[in-house]
A and B are shown apart, each in its own frame.
Chain A
Amino acid sequence: DAGVIQSPRHEVTEMGQEVTLRCKPISGHNSLFWYRQTMMRGLELLIYFNNNVPIDDSGMPEDRFSAKMPNASFSTLKIQPSEPRDSAVYFCASSLAGLAGGQETQYFGPGTRLLVL
């Protein structure tokens, strides 16, 4: 398997622009996670899907952020409008079973490095 695939790998945009990050989870995994990583705040869970349904979006910072998972093989994280403080590395991860029990290994994609000017 190719692993979790994310695109783009790097994104530079100007404040106010819309940013769309994409993720393809590992085939057969039914849980998908979006994380944001910064030096100041570390690795933060933004939202978690199970069987394409958003289960926990309490980590989404504000209404400018939205995430969708239209099918089992694709998810998007959208920021509209983007702000400089959104600059971070955004990781997508997938797992077989999700958060229940906590022991399911999460497989991370390579990340999207976002810079908002």
Chain B
Amino acid sequence: GQSLEQPSEVTAVEGAIVQINCTYQTSGFYGLSWYQQHDGGAPTFLSYNGLDGLEETGRFSSFLSRSDSYGYLLLQELQMKDSASYFCASLLNNRLAFGKGNQVVVIP
């Protein structure tokens, strides 16, 4: 069954901030990765959190709280090109599992 849970869709205006949440099962957890996938494209790596706390990469930040089995991806200063699906992924019980993804639609 599905081990990572993500809400499905969010619409936001250019310049806004969007937070995408991800909860996961705890057994065998090694860390949380985030991938971006544009429509018709391939997933591309955005960030990884192996320890609790915030990782910042330009306009994107990712956070992990292992005690809460929870992480999020923060997209700041949204641009039209950020319209895409965002997946959390984690190594759970030695198998990589992806969430169903969260589609972000950026509007002018």
Q: How many residues of A contact B (CB 8 A)?
A: 22
Evaluate contact between B42 and A102: CB separation under 8 angstroms: no
Question: CB of A108 within 8 A of chain B?
Answer: yes
CB distance from B25 to the nearest CB of A (A): 14
Q: Does A49 contact B (CB under 8 A)?
A: no
Q: Is the CB of A42 within 8 A of B95?
A: no
Contact between B31 and A103, CB atoms less than 8 A apart: yes
- Residue from A99, A107, A108, A109 within 8 A of B95 (CB atoms): A99
Q: Which of A91, A106, A111 contacts B45 (CB 8 A)?
A: A106
Asked if A71 CB lies within 8 Å of chain B CBs, one says no
A109 to B41, CA, bound (A): 9
Q: Which of B45, B94, B98 contacts A99 (CB 8 A)?
A: B94
Tell me which residues from 76 to 108 in chain B have a Cβ below 8 Å from any Cβ of chain A.
87, 90-91, 94-101
Within the complex, which residue of A45, A101, A106 is in contact with B31, where a contact is CB–CB below 8 Å? A101
Shortest C-beta distance, B69 to chain A (Å), equals 15
Residue ranges of A at the interface with B (Cβ–Cβ < 8 Å)? 33, 42-45, 48, 56, 58-59, 91, 93, 99, 101-103, 105-111
Residues of B within 8 A of A (CB): 2, 30-31, 33, 41-45, 48, 50, 87, 90-91, 94-101
Starting from the known contacts A43-B43, A43-B87, A101-B91, 15 additional A-B residue pairs (CB-CB under 8 Å) come to: A42-B99, A42-B100, A42-B101, A43-B101, A44-B98, A48-B96, A56-B94, A59-B95, A101-B50, A102-B31, A102-B90, A102-B91, A105-B33, A107-B45, A110-B41
Q: List 25 A-B contacts (CB under 8 A).
A: A33-B96, A42-B100, A42-B101, A43-B43, A43-B98, A44-B98, A45-B96, A48-B96, A56-B94, A58-B95, A59-B95, A91-B42, A93-B43, A99-B91, A99-B94, A101-B50, A101-B91, A102-B50, A102-B96, A103-B31, A103-B48, A105-B33, A108-B42, A110-B42, A111-B42
